[in-house]
Amino acid sequence: MASRPTTCTRRSSATIHPFPSPSMVSIVLGAQWGDEGKGKLVDLLASEADVVCRCQGGNNAGHSVVVEGVEYDFHMLPSGFHLQNCVNIIGNGCVVNLPELVEEIEKNEKRGVTNWSERLLISDRAHLVFDFHKQSDGLIERGRGSSSLGTTKKGIGPTYSSKATRNGIRAVDLVGDFSIFTDKLRKLYNYYKLTFPDLDIDIEKTIEQFKGLAEYFRPMIIDTVAFLNQAILDGSKKILVEGANATMLDIDFGTYPYVTSSNCSVGGVCTGLGLAPKYIGDIYGVVKAYTTRVGDGVFPTELKNEIGEHLQTRGREWGVTTGRKRRCGWLDLVLLQYTTMINGFTALCLTKLDTLDELAEIKIATTYKRNGVELPSFPASVDTMHDRG
């Protein structure tokens, strides 16, 4: 019997794989609680990108981009929407409010965006947000009373709930047989009406509205999973993914329950676009030189004093989506180490350092302690972040 060779030679990938040099996808993610300035970095990278993608969330996100004195506010639209060289993808992991997307498109048209219909693609697997999702979002939040989560009331959570309970409606349903879509929509509304009797929706008016929206968006609703992967295998395309919200709002890794309803860490990029991990290249974590968050929830370094007010004013800290003032505090390295571990950032982009210029002293959180004992890692429960009474 012949002996095995002591060494072996690896064959060139070109001889065994038909696509030897696929494009590597760059990703921009928030490393804190959002509002880190992701839009600025995305705009910088998008200027050389062929494809810009959103992979999760809905129009509860908000990115501001200023180009030649014109300010664009993007909520559902990817931040490459205003760039003539970019195809913009709203991925299957997103939830889409089509009537409000029309309003967002028209708003940006007035600011000079053209040829957008040739550059906007919506996943046929993306779930749709309806007015009863929005109304139920408000009713749920009101029912929490003093324990409210501070949601945007955009219907994002209820839509993801519909997705999880498997009675949600997707874009592919809208552009298919409209009678089947109508039947599904009536059943979904009746399901919500049983749970929330106070809902006030004219479902027949909604059906008629979506009949028009089906024709408006029909050319844009495609299999984006196939499109994106073909662009990757093409090898010549530069592809950029922008995460909405931020890691500390991730449904799994954030400060639960004060989080959003999707995975806004690196895992959400793969599941929200149908992207294989082997195609991920650079992962940029965007971090503000201090920390902010909108809405309720634990905030270890929050400054409820004149320094916090100074950061809020000088940093122009109010939300793009809601207009709410952002809570401000010192940079938190415990949090940043945690989000870096989860996402595997290959680089960090530090923003708003100049906001700290006028402060005589700058502090940074380096350790969490509870009752004098250092916590070994970022705690899963927000209750663990407070001393025992």
Positive or negative CA dihedral for 211, 215, 216, 222? positive
- All residues at 6 or more sequence positions from 304 whose CB lies less than 8 Å from its CB, including other chains: none
DSSP state of 53: E
- Dist. CA 14–CA 22, nearest whole Å: 11
Given 35, 43, 250, 332, which residue is catalytic? 35
Element holding 242 (H helix, E strand):
strand 239-242
- Dist. CA 110–CA 117, nearest whole Å: 15
Pairing assessment for the beta strands 63-67 and 70-74 based on DSSP bridges: antiparallel
The residue written with tokens 């038909």 in the block is 18
Given 17, 43, 50, 63, which residue is catalytic? 63
Whether 35 sits among the annotated catalytic residues: the reply is yes
Q: Which two tokens mark 211?
A: 């009949």
- Dist. CA 369–CA 15, nearest whole Å: 56
Question: Which is nearest to 269 in space by CA: 25, 22, 19, 23?
Answer: 25
The residue written with tokens 């992962």 in the block is 283
Tell me the three state secondary structure of residue 97. coil
In angstroms, what CA-CA distances link 294 with 73, 131, 375? 18, 24, 25
- Dist. CA 314–CA 303, nearest whole Å: 14
Return the CA Rg of the chain.
23
Positive or negative CA dihedral for 308, 311, 316, 320? negative
Whether 131 sits among the annotated catalytic residues: the reply is no
- Dist. CA 352–CA 309, nearest whole Å: 15
DSSP state of 114: -
Tell me the three state secondary structure of residue 120. strand
- All residues at 6 or more sequence positions from 73 whose CB lies less than 8 Å from its CB, including other chains: 62, 63, 64, 107, 320
| Residues that are catalytic | 35, 63
